[in-house]
Amino acid sequence: MNNDNEIKDIIARVNRIPVWSLPYSFLIIIGIGYFFTFYDISDIGFAMPAISTQFHIGASTSLFLALSVGLIGYAFGSYIIGSIADVFGRYKSMIITMALTAIGSFGDAISFNVPELTIARFVTGLGLGADLNLVSGYISEFAPPQWRGRITVYTFIIGILGQAITPFIALGLVPVYYNGWRYLFAIGGIIAVIALLLRFELPESPRWLAIKSGNLEKAKSVLKMMEDTAEKRFGKLPDPHPEDVDLKEYEQKFPTLYLFEGKTGKIYSKRLTILVFMWFFWYIGNYAFLGDAATMLADAHISLASSILYLAIGAIGYPVGAIIMALTADKYERKYVIFFDTVIWFIGLIIFSLKTEPTLLAGSFMASLALGMYLQVAYTYTAENYPTRARASGFALTDGIGHIGGALGAIILPIIVASYTFKTGFIFIAITGLIAGLISLLGPRASRETLEKISS
């Protein structure tokens, strides 16, 4: 049997597995890493008011430190480490990302001036941006087609708790202790170290091992473990069909080039364009809400503690949204689910813009619910749309360029609120989120399909 036939056989054997074929503890390990990711995305917004006061920096510098530096790191880390993952493997790259986030988070905690904090935020961003990219692709390469959405959401439920719990931790630290913001970052660093140590238990993707590394024996070893686990849970596995596997993505090119050259390049360039604009418009509102909402409420003469409390109560919507997606993610076509999620976002932000105590609570809950519903389904959909040999770098380009919208949104929202009204600003980010949902409808179908079929 030549290499091509062996590779086809390995991929066909992976595709025939109808259940999650790794220990369930691995989902928890991946979820803990996600927990830190969403913890850090939230903690900077709650820490910045105290940092601004202690470091004597203005609003524009505060915004730059809080979001722009981290997002620049996201973009660089996502693409550079994403490309490394396509060339050198998912496993090694996922170790690198969590190590960077741990270093960056402890660096945040011990920063005593603006330059130190800037460097720490950039390092944290390098790891976070790449990790969001890698985890979705990694899970997609192990999960069976009919359960791919649900399984990715299971890990996301653990992760999104980080975004739900962070406001309560911040409420107990930032307004109470002078160094409360430092403790907030240090807790994140401890979580990142735990996630890093646990990740050493994870295997490499057999798809990547077969297609990119050429280490067929290692791929077969991991696959044998997967099949043994699957047979215990499912019984006799269906027969593999290697004749259905197309190896056109096996050419040895630099991963990014594969997305732009020849006939396949036209397909992936179109998908890249759709997904970049989808994430660009989504991130405008996402980062504006997460990074600016507490400050905007404080500027509207609501105390910092009350502002955090409103957002903390609303943050209960994050895990609720993720649980809803765990029950529905694979029942309906992914892009329609994404659109529905953005409709919930739109309604929630319209309600939030009314700025009364009941509407702030209800709107915060609905916006958080939409975020919990949207993120992992959209991450999964993005990863599914690229081929195995360029999945990480394709996702990285999409997410990295899309984050430009996040940087703009975080800066634009305060300008709109200052120039017009609180209501106008939050209606604006409600609309940008809905636009993201409309753009997603232009993408291909992906639910319950093999990764190779989606890539064709």
DSSP sequence for 202-234: PPPPHHHIIIII--HHHHHHHHHHHHHHHHHHH
- Residue 201 has phi, psi (to 5 degrees) of -80, -15
Distance of alpha carbon 328 from alpha carbon 68, whole angstroms: 34
Out of 3.40.718.10, 3.40.50.970, 1.20.1250.20, 2.102.10.10, which CATH number does the structure's domain 23-232+254-455 have? 1.20.1250.20
Q: Exposed, middle or buried, 359 (CB in 10 Å: 0-12/13-18/19+)?
A: middle
Query: Could you read off the pLDDT tens digit of each residue along the chain, which spans 456 residues?
Result: 457 888 889 989 998 999 999 999 999 998 888 888 888 877 887 888 788 888 887 655 665 665 677 878 888 888 888 888 888 888 999 999 999 999 999 999 999 988 898 899 999 989 988 887 788 788 888 988 778 878 888 888 888 888 788 888 998 999 899 999 999 999 999 999 999 999 999 999 998 898 877 789 999 999 999 999 999 999 999 998 888 777 665 455 556 777 777 677 778 889 999 999 999 999 999 988 987 787 788 778 888 778 878 888 888 998 899 899 888 878 889 999 999 999 999 999 999 999 998 999 999 999 999 999 998 889 889 988 888 777 878 888 898 889 889 888 888 898 899 899 999 999 999 999 999 999 999 998 877 666 666 665
Contact, 104 vs 67, CB < 8 A?
no
Distance of alpha carbon 279 from alpha carbon 261, whole angstroms: 23
Distances (CA, A) of 236 to 12, 229, 448, 449: 16, 11, 21, 22
Amino acid at 245: V
Distances (CA, A) of 354 to 53, 286, 358, 373, 423: 29, 19, 9, 23, 6
pLDDT value for 232: 93
- pTM score over 0.85: no
Closest CA to 207 of 256, 282, 138: 138
Distance of alpha carbon 161 from alpha carbon 164, whole angstroms: 5
Domain residue limits, the chain = 23-232+254-455
Reading the block at residue 407, the tokens are: 């940087």
Closest CA to 192 of 95, 89, 319, 120: 95
Q: Exposure pattern of 61-88 as b/e (b: 16+ CB <10 Å)?
A: ebbbbbbbbbbbbbbbbbbbbbbbbbbe
Q: Exposed, middle or buried, 281 (CB in 10 Å: 0-12/13-18/19+)?
A: buried
Contact, 227 vs 31, CB < 8 A?
no
Residue 352 has a CB neighbour count (10 Å cut-off) of 28
Three-class SS state of 76: helix
